[in-house]
Chain A
Amino acid sequence: MTRLMTLALRTIAALALSLGVLCSHAQPAPAPTQTPPAPISQTHPTRVDAARISAGDTAWMISATALVLLMTIPGLALFYAGMVRKKNILATMAQTFAVCALVSVLWCVAGYSLSFMPGSPWIGDFSASFLDTVYFNKNSAQLSVHHLAPTVPESVFVMFQLSFAIITPALIAGAFAERMRFSAMLWFMGLWSLLVYAPVAHSVWEPSGWLAQQGILDFAGGTVVHINAGIAGLVAAFMLGRRIGFGQEALMPSNLGYTMIGASLLWVGWMGFNGGSAGAADGRAGYAVLVTQLAAASAALSWMLAEWLVRGSPSLLGLCSGAVAGLVAITPASGFVDARSSLLIGAIAGLGCYWGATALKRVLGADDSLDVFGVHGVGGLIGAVLTGAFASPTIGGVPGSVLTQAIGAVSTLAYSGVMSAAILWLVDLFVGLRVTDGQERAGLDRSLHGEAVE
């Protein structure tokens, strides 16, 4: 018994000793290997973990998108409708509304892909047709981001850019107001958004685009939106011909109160237009919003001053037009210039666009009904060139070049002008561009839509 107990005690002691040796040599369990996050591609949309998305940036971009969409519906619709004759109010609004719907669908089908996929220096590709690159998986917490906005979901980037793609062709409608067939308008706008807007947007904004490679500075679309739409509007005005009574009788605006409401929606919405182009809720977005406001204000005052001196009195239409002119001009510059420069840009744009909508219009001789070229075309040109002159490396990170800006402006004028003319010619061949004289005299509201403002 004693021998058995001794053996047990020795065994226990040995076990205890072994355990102690083991414990003294025990190592902590190795940490799981930390795999670095996959790098975001600089050329293509990338799938990333949801944790890499910035909630602040995303919230701002969604808000900015809503603001820009409001600029079109109902901002631009009201702005234009108030300036046409009463018998064409509803038709003008219908054009804007229809363009919004049409371009939205086309953007999904091919517009986004042609604009913002790498492709060639001139045009994107079809890899994102039907938004195939846009990915969201709730279970795996993964989603796609675009290389131009890596901190927000690609879906948000798509939608933000869509709001720009919508308003650009909608602007053109002001040039051929009161005389274009609705079906022809739809064909033209659809083709234009794919064959003109997409290539220009790609050239300027997509890093592989040829103008982007040249170093063009266009923060929010002075070239892509305003010069582009402006020249297209001028070409359309020429090709459709003058309205009946243009130059002989007063073509009275129906309700400048609508125009003021529309201009106000444009002004406020432009905070999203320029601020959202920063792609983030950051200091640059804040600065863009500030200079946007200053440019609009100084342009409204300079247009008002010019009109006061020339006509003898300021007008509400002049104030609204001036503000829009300033907003147009600051668009390309808003991410690159400081406050003083923005005041100057606005002041110059107010005077320049007043000239564009009056004296230049008489020289050109086209019936650009609502002065699309005078305000957006001329304002866009002024803004593009002045961006090159006033761009601050401190704010935008890069210096500007007036020559590069001029190259971008002229090439866009040329491409958009020629392609717009070609599309209009084609649509005229198959559909016919203009309403009949009887329809025009009766008003497009009743003639084309069977409706009227009583």
Chain B
Amino acid sequence: MPNPQSLAVAAHLHVLLRRHIARNTDVEWLAANRDYAAEIHRVCIETEFIDLHEWAAKLVAAHDIAQLSPQPALRPAAVRSEPAISLERHAPPPVKRYVASLR
């Protein structure tokens, strides 16, 4: 069960992601799973939205602080074949599609 702080951060981040880039997330999984949180953190810092960067950082902090309960059974969508992603990685170049051109 995710702690209330990480749940609150995840919920807020969920709303921001929907608003800015129409991205849906699984809030409970985001609050509980570090790998998923790391991926969403990566998505956030690729964008140009400052508030996404801020709340992604809060999500990272919430996961670091939290005493996570034993990981629930991994859902297939959250399984990654590579090792857990470092939250310190550098952001890849921003997405170019749909910037200044629809087609």
Contacts and interface: CB of A to CB of B under 8 A. Distances in A.
A318 B101 CA distance: 12
Interface in B47-86: 47-49
B47 to A, nearest CB: 7
Interface residues of A, number: 26
Interface in A425-448: none
Given A249-B48, A254-B22, A318 B103 contact: yes
Contacts of A38: none
A317 B99 contact: no
Interface stretch (A121-129, A203-211, A217-225, A356-364): A356-364
B98 to A, nearest CB: 4
Nearest to B49: A249
Interface in B6-22: 19, 21-22
A181 to B, nearest CB: 22
A248 B48 contact: yes
A307 B47 CA distance: 25
Contacts of B102: 83, 251, 253, 317, 357, 369-371
A247 B21 CA distance: 15
A357 B48 CA distance: 25
Contacts of A250: 21, 95, 97-99
A318 B103 CA distance: 7
B22 A357 contact: no
Contact of B103 (A85, A251, A358): A358
Contacts of B19: 87
Contacts of B98: 250-253
Given A249-B47, A250-B98, A317 B22 contact: no
A362 B100 contact: yes
Contacts of B99: 247-251
Contacts of B100: 246-247, 362
B21 A252 contact: yes
A302 interface: no
A374 B47 CA distance: 28
A394 to B, nearest CB: 37
Chain B CB within 10 Å — which of A86, A246, A249, A369 has the most?
A249
B16 to A, nearest CB: 13
B21 to A, nearest CB: 6
A420 interface: no
A246 B101 CA distance: 9
Nearest to A356: B103
A116 interface: no
A176 interface: no
Interface in A16-38: none
B97 A361 contact: no
A373 to B, nearest CB: 13
A75 B58 CA distance: 44
A252 B103 contact: no
Chain B CB within 10 Å — which of A252, A253, A358, A362 has the most?
A252
A406 to B, nearest CB: 27
Contacts of A361: 101
A354 interface: yes
Given A85-B22, A362-B101, 7 more contacts: A246-B100, A247-B100, A249-B47, A249-B99, A252-B22, A253-B98, A361-B101
13 contacts: A87-B19, A247-B99, A247-B100, A248-B48, A248-B99, A249-B47, A250-B21, A251-B102, A252-B21, A318-B103, A361-B101, A362-B100, A374-B103
